[in-house]
Structure 1
Amino acid sequence: MAMGLSQHYRGPDGTVHAAAPDGRAVLAMNTLLIVDPLAHPGPYLDRETGLLLAFNGEIYNFRKQAAAWGIPLGERETDAHLVLRAWEKIGPSCLDGLDGMFALAVYDPRLGRLFLARDRLGEKPLYWRLDGGRLAFASEVTTLTGYGPAPLVLRPEMLAVETPLGVDTPFQGVQLLAPAALLTFDVATGSIDQKTWWRLEDREPFKGNYAKALARFSVVLAEQIPLRAPASDFALLLSGGLDSAVLAYLMRPPLCVTVRYPGQGRLDESEIAAQIAQDIGAELVVVEPSTAEFATVLPHMMSIPFFVG
């Protein structure tokens, strides 16, 4: 329980622990409800099979896939319930049908196996370690440093690019699960198997000139971005740059937020943000943090590690 509670701030909607029916696995979730604010927090249990799921992320096409796979979803059920039932129905191959960013853990008591998986490009992090035949995992690397000895390791790339590369971390014995990786852990034997469930190089390359590529990209962008917009009202952080501007025009949020810093005109993009907000008919909130406010929140910022997969 200590591991789940140590990162409780990741889940303002509750930290819950759940033991598998056979007592051989315990999963914890720090839940932040996005798809449905009234949904039940995880971990999620299928009572018939005993499958237990801990899920981090969002599946954008979950309703479409539920229909395609013939999986019913109740009124208060979300993308996590779709993943749980799809895993029960077709196993790890369901990963191929998931459009989203995710890191997940599924324990199957029928097989005595724990499965860990990450999305195609590794947008959501997932760290793991194996100690004495027991496997522990978490969405933050520092959570696992409290599970057992994990001496700091100064890797050569840290001196060059200031970040670990590949699956290594600055802590001995703690690894990052690779993007699009599926790890299978047998709780009886302690054996581990890893494989890649999706490869970019296996995708059929685009054939055509620049104009065709631009047209195709525009269609995909216009189709995919609205799928990532919440069903209810939401706000968009608008920097004034190209990325957030494209999101604003395609997602049409009712509220936009931008940040400017007093005395830092070179970094001020609030005029551009105001023009974009006006174009889409959104209210714009401009935040101006002061030096004193920054000093006040800095200790809190430093105490919460953020990792991008």
Structure 2
Amino acid sequence: MCGIAGFLAPSLDPGAAPGIVTSMLSLIRHRGPDEAGYYLDDGFAMGTVRLAIVDLDTGSQPMSDPTGRHWISFNGELYNHVELREELRALGRPFRTHCDTEVVLQAWLQWGPQCLTRFNGAFAFAIRDADTGGLVLARDRYGKRPLFYAEHDGGLLFASEMKAFRAFPGFRFTLDPRELASVFAVWTPLPDRTPFAGIRQLPMGGVLTVRDGRRTLSTYEELAVDAPPFEGAEEDAAAYVRETLRASVEMRLRSDVEVGVYLSGGLDSSIVTKLATDLSHSEVRTFSVAFENAEFDESESQRVVASHLGTRHSSVTVSAADIAEHFPAAVHHAEVPSFRTAFVPMYLLSRHVRDAGIKTILSGEGADEAFLGYSLFRETMLRAAWHELSAEDRKAGLARLHPELAHFGPAHQKHMAGLFQQFSQERLPGLFSHELRYQNGRFAARLLKDRNVDPFADALDMVRTAPGYAGLSAVQKAQWLEYKTLLAGYLLSTQGERMGLAHGVENRCPFLDPAVVRAAASVNLRFDDGSEEKAILKKAFRGELPASSLARRKQPYRAPGSAVFKDRRPDYLELVLSDAELGKLDWADPVFARKLVAKIMTTPAEEISTKEDQAFVYLLSTALLDQQFVRDTAGPHASPEADLKIRTVVDKRRALPRAVAGGMR
């Protein structure tokens, strides 16, 4: 796991390149605190800050092939590097290290872009051809690792985090109202977007090729949520899923450092923990978040699972004051507006894990998307069948959806039935499954000054043009949207990767192994009628986990919302409390924002609706981004460049004697 950054800048003063790339790396050094290095060529630079996990001694980057022609900066892990290395060796490819980075480079040289479909991993990388001047950027199929790029002054900047662009002369951040409208509406940036004007992210499964001044963006693998139905019996399907997951966890335990597990107490992380304890030769360490507020705390479930599986368990207890204190730093690492505060406890958890000496962690992310765990999927089934159901069946269906939420209880059932009736017909073409959720986003979009922007225009265009999307069932469309938006844009990034790497902790997701995703797609709709969530997963691990874990309904991971800011009144709250500060937000409607803030500040928390709570968190987090990036007046900044542990320096412009693969200390 690492961070990468670089640029193509034909008009740049060559003498400035080393200082600029070093400054870019210093801004993302939290991603790779172990060592750093960079490569320079005519009008080009790229570098890496490294979190050493595989091949600690000889895996320094940037790395070249034996000829010195091709160079790579790699962020992430290639879990099947052992198998690919043997295949490439049989084809005559030479290896000088045991590092997965070298496997990626040699695979690219052997198979070209086709190698990407062979990769099982979480990655983003840049490969430079020193002879042709060509550059390739690529990202993994599920968007586990970030890669951003921006055109600037006739060139191209790229980095694992956008904040690295601050170091490039003349680059300025500007929040884009159209992109903000889309983020507020669908809860995350769309796969190739960011909230900033002129900055894009490489989409999941994307490749950007730059050569002779031309840029070509392509997709090497489209997201597939359908598969031929599993042909065996339910018992066979459960065994198939279990074995596929076991192989996935085994592959993700490959590491030259200790691997821990995030244990939430729910089914998914419990399964990962169970498999890790089966496959590990030493005691497994598990980590979790606990809350002072009992409404959000799941520590008892975590304790039960840890005790049952015999792990060495540790947790960090988070208070509302902790969330308020660390919110600006977490937003700075996330780099996107957020609709909830739940990413802040994950920021604190990763710090706790780092302090415990762990660099690599397994998590259960992706299980709900793959195995239809969210109530959203059952809700979609219910709404799609609404007109064919009797009044009693509708009532029973509503009761099963959200037993943990008061507004789905008996007292509110008439209202909820009316709402489902209202949304039983599609209004936004292709977005049927998410239309109820998106009403909260429509409200948040009113924060923007420009009301002429359709907040759903880009999402509608995305599903309209997506290959094969129109032919999916309603539930499969819901699944596709979850993969493309909330999973990649929030759960894997804001709440996952970005909070982990803020403290140099890499997360690995066994449920997002391509084989596991295919297995889930083949069994889901055959053995899951919506009556029992994740029935196949529960069957696969029955008798191996505590009975309470298997019987427990999914509890969404939640954290306190706007109340933490109202009650604690941190200094930065002035960004939205002060009329003068609101006036500095040229994208915001000050009248609507002022009314929203006033209601949040003067109304009891239990009387604040979900949409109002989300809109307030959006407003505050976006105001912080405006301050930190656009006005650049506050927030955490880079450590001194002298703190970088520069190990590799390669300058092709002068053919320095130390310009050798692997670098020098």
Partner amino acid for 2:128? Y
1:154 aligns with 2:177: yes
- Using the size of structure 2 for normalisation, the TM-score is 0.42
Q: Which runs of 5+ in 1 are unaligned?
A: none
Q: Which of these two proteins has the greater Rg computed from alpha carbons?
A: 2
- Alpha-carbon offset, residue 105 of structure 1: 0.6
The structure with more strand, counted as a fraction of residues: 1
Partner amino acid for 1:107? R
> Pick from 135, 142, 148: which aligns with 1:127?
148
> Pick from 221, 245, 250: which aligns with 2:245?
221
> Pick from 216, 221, 224: which aligns with 1:198?
221
* Corresponding residue number in structure 2 for 1:101: 122
1:284 aligns with 2:308: no
Contact 1:153 1:170 survives alignment (8 Å)? yes
Summarize the Cα distance change of 1:181–1:292 in structure 2 as closer, same or farther, 3 Å threshold: closer
Superposed counterparts of 1:3-42, under 5 Å: 3-20=24-41, 23-42=42-61
Summarize the Cα distance change of 1:128–1:261 in structure 2 as closer, same or farther, 3 Å threshold: same
* Corresponding residue number in structure 1 for 2:208: 183
The total of aligned residue pairs comes to: 303
1:33-87 superposed Cα distances (whole Å, 9 cap, x missing partner): 122343443111224142110111111110111001214545x531111112222
Contact 1:129 1:174 survives alignment (8 Å)? yes
2-structure distance, mates of 1:305, 1:142: 10
2-structure distance, mates of 1:108, 1:14: 24
Partner amino acid for 1:126? L
* Corresponding residue number in structure 1 for 2:112: 91
Identity %: 30
1:182-225 superposed Cα distances (whole Å, 9 cap, x missing partner): 11101xx3101122111234985344377254443222112112
1-structure distance, mates of 2:321, 2:194: 34
Q: Which runs of 5+ in 2 are unaligned?
A: 1-20, 278-282, 336-488, 494-665
- Using the size of structure 1 for normalisation, the TM-score is 0.87
Deviates more, 1:53-62 or 1:34-43: 34-43
The structure with more helix, counted as a fraction of residues: 2
Superposed counterparts of 1:298-309, under 5 Å: 298-305=327-334, 308=492
Deviates more, 1:297-306 or 1:253-262: 297-306
The 3-state SS of whatever aligns with 1:267 is: coil
Summarize the Cα distance change of 1:271–1:172 in structure 2 as closer, same or farther, 3 Å threshold: same
1-structure distance, mates of 2:118, 2:275: 24
Partner amino acid for 2:210? F
The 3-state SS of whatever aligns with 1:200 is: coil
Partner amino acid for 2:98? E
* Corresponding residue number in structure 2 for 1:116: 137
* Corresponding residue number in structure 2 for 1:261: 291
- Alpha-carbon offset, residue 273 of structure 1: 1.8
> Pick from 59, 67, 77: which aligns with 1:58?
77
1:274 aligns with 2:303: yes
2-structure distance, mates of 1:172, 1:278: 50
Contact 1:25 1:107 survives alignment (8 Å)? no
Deviates more, 1:5-14 or 1:270-279: 270-279
Deviates more, 1:240-249 or 1:250-259: 250-259
Summarize the Cα distance change of 1:73–1:275 in structure 2 as closer, same or farther, 3 Å threshold: farther
Deviates more, 1:266-275 or 1:140-149: 140-149
- Alpha-carbon offset, residue 230 of structure 1: 4.0
1:113-153 superposed Cα distances (whole Å, 9 cap, x missing partner): 10001111111111111223311111112333654234211
Partner amino acid for 2:246? A
Deviates more, 1:150-159 or 1:96-105: 150-159
Deviates more, 1:206-215 or 1:247-256: 206-215
> Pick from 161, 176, 189: which aligns with 1:164?
189
The 3-state SS of whatever aligns with 2:177 is: coil
1:81 aligns with 2:102: yes
Higher relative contact order (Cα pairs below 8 Å, separated by 6+ residues): 2
Partner amino acid for 2:273? A
Summarize the Cα distance change of 1:278–1:207 in structure 2 as closer, same or farther, 3 Å threshold: closer
Contact 1:5 1:15 survives alignment (8 Å)? no
> Pick from 71, 84, 88: which aligns with 1:69?
88
Contact 1:144 1:174 survives alignment (8 Å)? no
- Alpha-carbon offset, residue 169 of structure 1: 1.6
2-structure distance, mates of 1:8, 1:179: 24
2-structure distance, mates of 1:167, 1:298: 26
Summarize the Cα distance change of 1:143–1:254 in structure 2 as closer, same or farther, 3 Å threshold: same
Contact 2:191 2:204 survives alignment (8 Å)? no
2-structure distance, mates of 1:301, 1:95: 32
1:216-256 superposed Cα distances (whole Å, 9 cap, x missing partner): 32221121122112444332221111221111001116211
2-structure distance, mates of 1:197, 1:230: 26
Deviates more, 1:268-277 or 1:144-153: 144-153
Partner amino acid for 2:213? G
Superposed counterparts of 1:214-253, under 5 Å: 214-231=238-255, 232-252=257-277
Contact 1:260 1:288 survives alignment (8 Å)? yes
Contact 1:133 1:190 survives alignment (8 Å)? no
Partner amino acid for 1:18? Y
Partner amino acid for 1:244? S
